[in-house]
Amino acid sequence: MSRYWSPLVSELQPYVPGEQPKMANLVKLNTNENPFGPSPKVIEAIQKELNDNLRLYPDPEGLALKEAIASYHVDFGIEANQVFVGNGSDEVLAHIFQGLLKHDKPILFPDISYSFYPVYCGLYQIESKVIPLTDSFEINPEDYKRPNGGIIFPNPNAPTGRYLGLQHVEEILQANPDSVVVVDEAYVDFGGDTAIRLVSQYPNLLVCQTLSKARSLAGLRVGFAVGNEELIEALNRVKDSFNSYPLDRLALAGAVAAFEDKQWFEDSCNGVIRERKRVTEELERLGFEVLPSKANFVFARHPDHEGSDVAAKLREQGVIVRHFNKPRISDFLRITIGTSDQNNALIKGLDSL
């Protein structure tokens, strides 16, 4: 510990991102990246932006992107002033924690969930209470009907992949009219139904999404939130007190193009869903228990083998998956759905074990 650190820094337990291996020829199924490249229209839009205008600051409001997101969700009555954009959904979530979830009462989130949530609580000194998932690793809405300073959960959940139907999301919203309920939908496009359709009904609802997964733009870092204007104003106040230009010109141009190419988006999601079904069936054939998933990954364990051992043996064969050495899930592997060839390499590796 450095003597120059603040007391807060010395106490932080930082988030540990998935490994980005430097070795060549690895089958990389550990970080939930989309196996299909971004829309060609995204590449074209970014190339057009590579000009002398890079000397100029980007639009601090990201208005073109907000309008594209609102237009995409026009059937739900969303307008641009109900959209917030940021440098990846992690930055958006950071502003949400600081601007909307820091109150006198503890916030609530699942015990098995996105591991950045407790990190933000430590960074912003927010009291929290973890709510255990059920024995089948599901969220029980009844558990969230208690005093709180806010609620946040991924849907589909990460790393389990399980999805909570919107009727149950509404149950949580209705039980907590005085608290902000944040639904983190990083993986919703792979089979779930977005809670953005509920925004006009519930002023306490904020939905957060990313372009990293379904739109294959993890390298561009674009995230957004949708909610009523009052919630969005809180996030803008935090953003403009931290970084007024979170998205650069290339990210804005590429993100707008990604929302405009609906056909590519649908084809990409459907391709992942088809491969997810096949991978699930193959894992079950090999004796794995696979949780129902609406994400671009599956969460699986074998009754006869420890998760860490399976992960290590797969790595020896050039296949990398994610293992979490945490209570309740230490025998599970989170396996990203890759291309057909990558998934074949996974199954072949498991077969040989």
Q: Is the pLDDT of residue 129 over 80?
A: yes
Range of the domain at 165: 40-261
90 within a domain of the structure (yes/no): yes
Within 13 Å, how many C-alpha atoms sit on residue 177's CB side?
A: 2
With bands split at pLDDT 50, 70 and 90, how would you rate the model's confidence at 1? low
Same domain, 170 and 285: no
Same domain, 219 and 273: no
Residues 45, 59, 74, CA angle at the centre, nearest 5°?
A: 70
Same domain, 25 and 47: no
Asked which of 234, 261, 288 is the last residue of a domain, the reply is: 261
pLDDT of residue 25: 76
- Average confidence score pLDDT of the chain: 96
Contacts by residues 231-236 (CB-CB < 8 Å, ≥ 24 positions apart): 231/100, 231/180, 231/203, 231/206, 232/81, 232/82, 232/83, 232/84, 234/99, 234/100, 235/84, 235/92, 235/95, 235/96, 235/99, 235/100, 236/84
With bands split at pLDDT 50, 70 and 90, how would you rate the model's confidence at 6? confident
Give 68-110 pLDDT, tens digit per residue: 999 999 999 999 999 999 999 999 999 999 999 999 999 999 9
1 within a domain of the structure (yes/no): no
pLDDT of residue 130: 98
- Percentage of residues in the chain with pLDDT exceeding 90? 92
CATH label of the domain that carries residue 126: 3.40.640.10
User: 56 to each of 87, 221, 249, 250, 275, how far by Cα in Å?
Assistant: 18, 20, 9, 12, 43
305 within a domain of the structure (yes/no): yes
Same domain, 271 and 184: no
Same domain, 237 and 203: yes
pLDDT of residue 23: 67
Domain count for the chain, please give it. 2
pLDDT of residue 320: 96
Same domain, 44 and 102: yes
Same domain, 162 and 20: no
Give 213-225 pLDDT, tens digit per residue: 999 999 999 999 9
- What CA–CA distance (Å, rounded) separates 155 from 208? 10
Same domain, 190 and 307: no
Same domain, 249 and 278: no
Same domain, 61 and 140: yes
